[in-house]
Structure 1
Amino acid sequence: MDLDAFAAAHRDQWDRLDRLVSSRRLTGAQADELVMLYRMCARHLSQVRSAAPDPQLVAELSVRVTAARERLAGTREVTLSTARSFVLQAVPAALYRVRWWTLGVTVAEVALVLVVGVWTLRSPEAMSLLGTPSQRHAYAHEAFEAYYTAYAPVEFAAQVWTSNARLAAVCVAGGVTGVLPALVLWVNAVALGQAGAVMADHGLLGQFLALVLPHGLLELTCVLTAGGAGLRLFWTLLVPGRRSRANALAVEGRVLVTAAVGLTMALVVAGLIEAFVTPAPIPWVLKIAVGLGAVALLWVYTVVLGRRAVKADITGDLGPQEAGYSAPEAG
């Protein structure tokens, strides 16, 4: 097949289809014409795929056919079944696929927090960089605990969720650089280690743990999962396997966006715990139990439902209709 001649012969029809798809309103005759041109363009796409699968032309026709189909079918309604499948299958499958990256990043992060905390606590020079003795005293005895009660619980929960969701999104979306997730994890570990060192220096390590652990267990797990997901995406860029680099990044990127949506939902729970449980006048043992229960539920959700979904060949990726056509690859 001469692709140039084929495209030149049908270009007017394709352009006409584009104009009908972009029209705000269609008459009855125009709707009939849209259906006819859609079928014709779909047939052209099939011919090009089978006879001469030129990636550029296939992609162009695929986008055109998809847009026409969406215009004809309208916006797909999100049903209860679709939402249930997304929450109980797609999201846990996506989180399950990055579980080892999450565990690896968690071990590295905890080690870094301990190193920074112990080094800061034992180094007068490092401690002096965090402020004067009076400033550190005020932070340990007033500011650290006051942070959790400075705003109304609902407003504070919204602020915490927004901040953490943005952080998780940066880790995933910026994962292809390799630098952004690593930087976020580094800054988070250093800040946490230094704060713990200041509190321990004033004999308030127990209070530090009581204020951080209830929400921090779930919150940090979400951030670390996002960091692990971002680093996995960077690894995919370096080692795409048997897939082309572009296709591997596209697939893994869509899966990790699904994971990010799940983490955003989990961060809502973490924000509510931080706003309502952490400052509550209840025993610290009960607060930590709430935090442990929340993070345990996240891991059960990831491992149990995720393993089941993966065994059913669910990856967390979009379906062919939503993801679009991928050009065939050799090998």
Structure 2
Amino acid sequence: MNIQRWIARRQAKWQDLDKLLQRAQQRGIKSLNAKEIATLASLYRSVAADLARANTNQIGQTIVQELQALTTRGYSQIYRGSRRQELRGAIDFYLWKLPQVLRETWGYTAVAFGIFLIGALIAWWFAWQDASFMSLVVPQSMIEKVRDRHQLWMGSILGTEPFAASSIAINNLSVAFRMVGGGILAGFWTIYALFYNGVLIGAVATLVGQNGLAYPFWAFVFPHGALELPAIFIAGGGGLLIARGLLFPGRYRRRDALRIYGGQAAQLVMGIFPMLLIAGAIEGFFSPQEVIPSPFKYLAGTGLFILLILYTLRRDVPEERLCQRSQEIPSSYIKNA
């Protein structure tokens, strides 16, 4: 390999990349047009290959250092811009797009809540009518603790807050993801999970109510439940959306209906992820603390729920960030379009 000839042949590309990078660094990557950005990316790959060859052939420390500096600058401009766009996209999604999707799919969330509520009411009715029903749903150890010792079980969290918070968040995320994914089974698993969780909550609520512990129990539930329960209903709504696309595609082809409603379900999953993480942290670190007065816990839970409602109802989308409605479907998706 003739080193001097190779350098002379490649040096023009290095200089071209250096000029583009200087412009990008001085004026920002947006100062380059589409063709220049494509050229920048191509030159970056070419110079990165030259750096690898220079290292392999031990061309010289000066050339290697110059190429390293050039590729480092290129990487910074190309990938930093990409990361910034991804970050801006995520921020815009949570600030503007998610509330819109929550409003568009509120009917499915309401149906999910209705299924949950039916399960809770059935459990409440049977638990009051037949004492043996409780043992079919609630663990015997919990029944004995509440009924015989008049104690709640939340104290076991104290002293293990970090572990408890992470375990709770992981469990809730698992339940939510199964509810959404259950939609692909024609929604049967989603409906079952919502109904079963309603029965469980209804039975536990009846147990503590029968033994005079309803006030401290709901004081524990309110702070994290203000986010956790709506997140579960939203996840259930996502599963019902997928089931709707599978069973009732309507004017769309079935694969396109699944793409449309599945896309909305995916957005809902992205939305409930931070909700469940925050709820897990609250349940681990805040809800079980006995030093915090119960009225303050009720107030905190109520405040969080009001904030969630206000967030869902926000509509002041700036013009430059106005998102297309998720229901604006390409005409090619519609049958006989």
Q: What TM-score, normalized to structure 1?
A: 0.67
What does residue 90 of structure 1 align with? 97
| 2:124 matches 1:117 | yes
Alpha-carbon offset, residue 220 of structure 1: 0.8
Q: Count residues in correspondence.
A: 258
Segments of 5+ residues of structure 1 without an aligned counterpart are 1-25, 31-72, 321-325
In the alignment, is the contact (CA less than 8 A) between 1:176 and 1:231 conserved in 2? Answer: no
Contact 2:238 / 2:264 at 8 angstroms: preserved in 1? no
Aligned residues of 1:211 and 1:278 also touching (Cα < 8 A)? yes
Higher relative contact order (CA 8 A, sep 6+): 1
CA distance in 1, matches of 2:329, 2:262: 14
More deviation, 236-245/217-226: 236-245
Q: Identical aligned pairs, as a percentage?
A: 27
Counterpart of 2:211 (choices 192, 195, 202) is: 202
Alignment partners' CA distance in 1, 2:229 and 2:115: 13
* Cα distance in 2 between the residues matched to 1:224 and 1:105: 5
| Equivalent of 2:109 in 102, 109, 112 | 102
In structure 1, the partner of 2:180 is 172
> Is the 1:157–1:275 contact (alpha carbons within 8 Å) kept by the matching residues of 2?
yes
Residue among 310, 324, 334 paired with 1:300: 310
Q: Tell me by how many angstroms 1:247 deviates.
A: 0.8
- Cα deviations by residue, 1:150-190 (Å, 9 ceiling, x for unpaired): x5222222111111112111111221221121121112111
Equivalent residue number for residue 48 of structure 1:
none
Matched, 1:330 2:336: yes
Match of 2:240 among 225, 228, 231: 231
Distance in 2, matches of 1:231 and 1:147, equals 36
- 2:325 corresponds to 1:315: yes
State the 1:314 CA deviation. Answer: 2.5
Distance 1:94 1:251 in 2: 12
The 8 Å contact of residues 137 and 202 in structure 1, kept in 2 or not, is answered as: no
Q: CA separation in 2, counterparts of 1:308 and 1:181?
A: 36
Distance change (3 Å), C-alpha of 1:164 and 1:142: same
1:285 aligned partner, one-letter code: P
Shift of 1:319: 12
Residue 135 and residue 217 in structure 1: after superposition, are their counterparts in 2 closer, same or farther (change >3 A)? closer
Matches of 2:161 and 2:326, distance apart in 1: 34
Instruction: Quote how far apart the aligned CAs of 1:240 are.
Output: 1.5
Instruction: Determine the structure 2 residue equivalent to 1:162.
Output: 170
**1:10-63 residue CA offsets vs partner (Å, 9 max, x unmatched):** xxxxxxxxxxxxxxxx878x9xxxxxxxxxxxxxxxxxxxxxxxxxxxxxxxxx
TM-score w.r.t. the length of structure 2 is 0.66
Q: CA deviation at 1:147?
A: 4.2
Q: Which secondary structure state, in structure 2, belongs to the residue aligned with residue 185 of structure 1?
A: helix
Q: Does 1:288 align with 2:294?
A: no
State the AA in 1 paired with 2:239: G
CA distance in 1, matches of 2:111, 2:333: 34
Structure 1 residues 1-331: aligned runs within 5 Å: 76-79=82-85, 80-129=87-136, 136-139=143-146, 141-142=150-151, 144-149=153-158, 152-177=160-185, 178-280=187-289, 281-305=291-315, 312=322, 314-315=324-325, 330-331=336-337
Cα deviation for residue 261 of structure 1 reads: 0.8
User: Contact 1:214–1:287 at 8 Å: present in 2 too?
Assistant: yes
How many angstroms does 1:286 deviate by? 1.1
Matched residues in 1 for 2:142 and 2:313: separation? Answer: 44
Deviation at 1:329, TM superposition (A): 5.5
**Alignment deviations for residues 249-307 of structure 1 (CA, whole Å, 9 cap, x no partner):** 11221221111111011112211221222112222121111112212222222222499
CA deviations on 1:89-144 (whole Å, 9 max, x unpaired) are 23222222211221232234224313312321331231354679886231453452
Give the Cα separation in 2 of the matches to 1:119 and 1:110. Answer: 14
Corresponding position of 2:75: none
